[in-house]
Amino acid sequence: MVSLILSRPITKKLNLSRFKPYGLRLYSTKKSNPLRILFCGSDDFSIASLRAIHAEHKRDPDLIKSIDVLCRPGKPAGRSLKQIREVPIKAVAQELGLPLHERDTFTGWNLPKSNDESINLIVAVSFGLFVPPRILKVVEYGGLNVHPSLLPDYRGPAPLQRMIMRREKASGVTLQTLDDKSFDHGKILAQEWFPLEPEAMTYQKLLETVMPKAAKILVDGLQNRLFVPPLVEDTRWQYKLPQKLTHAAKITPKDKKVYWYTKSAAVDIPARQNALGRLWTTVLV
């Protein structure tokens, strides 16, 4: 039995002229206290949002007074596990001169003070840890999250990869509250829809498309004080969600295995390669 690896993304141009992307922008006269944000993040997707709210902090300190960053500690990496692989957002927080906190659990941990003042809003973007109720309930404005899908479709940790694998023709970004019971079940405060080119879309291309949209919907939500009660759910979607919703489950090695003899192999294999990169299979010899 031999393992084969497929590594080159497959792309093909698709005419999407009939689609008209639609973005939602809400305006509010709500007022809030200056925000002292605890930003919880990890990767490039969350870094884009952190940079955006940091720029807004510099532009309007009356809106955002301070930003602390929370990330998970680095993990041993390499064959000997002697190197520590740091979470990418750590270097960005240090670059921006923001207070940095590293935790792998909320157990036994209390929110930090910002210049002797309490954090009053938590923003979690691609963080990976569940923010517990005891933390959320002591924060004046609770928590916000940006998710790279039109929720409730594609709840879960791998929405971008799953969309590409399923050859979706449209998606979006969602600004929601942090739910105190489970991931991706908060109140939907704002959404933006946009078209996809399923045959030409790779993970990196979709990530680069989604990052600025997610950062913008977050900043717009802060500017419009969408986090201030009473919370108003955004139901004005231009894109109609399917009757059967998709769960964006975590990617596993099994997802990267090629099954040659399925009816849909001709389209499934390129889509998986575009979403996941290198694939593997087995053949009898």
- Whole-number pLDDT of residue 2: 43
pLDDT at 241 (0 to 100): 81
Please give the Cα distance from 85 to 73 (Å, whole number). Answer: 9
Tell me, what's the pLDDT at 23?
Answer: 43
Q: Token pair for residue 99?
A: 């207070």
Q: Which domains does the chain have, with CATH numbers?
A: 26-248 (3.40.50.170)
CB atoms within 10 A of CB 78: 9
Per the DSSP assignment, residues forming a β-bridge with 3 are 282
Backbone angle region of 139, left / alpha / beta, with phi > 0 → left and psi within -120 to 50 → alpha = beta
DSSP for residue 202: -
Return the structure tokens found at 188. 């939907």
In the chain, at which residue ranges do the beta strands (DSSP E only) sit?
2-6, 35-40, 64-71, 75-77, 83-85, 100-102, 113-114, 117-118, 121-124, 143-147, 170-177, 188-195, 279-283
Which residue has 């209390």 as its token pair? Answer: 110
pLDDT, averaged per 10 consecutive residues of the chain (285 residues), comes to: 47 38 54 97 98 99 98 84 88 98 96 92 97 97 98 97 96 96 97 91 97 98 98 76 92 92 85 94 79
Other residues' Cβ atoms within 10 Å of the Cβ of residue 138: 13
Q: What is the pLDDT of residue 60?
A: 98
pLDDT value at residue 70: 98
pLDDT at 262: 83
Q: List for the chain the helix, strand, coil content (%; round to 5).
A: 25, 25, 50
What is the sign, positive or negative, of the torsion defined by CA atoms of 225, 180, 212, 268? Answer: negative
Instruction: Fill in the amino acid letter for 90.
Output: K
How far apart CA 186 and CA 145 sit, in angstroms, is 9
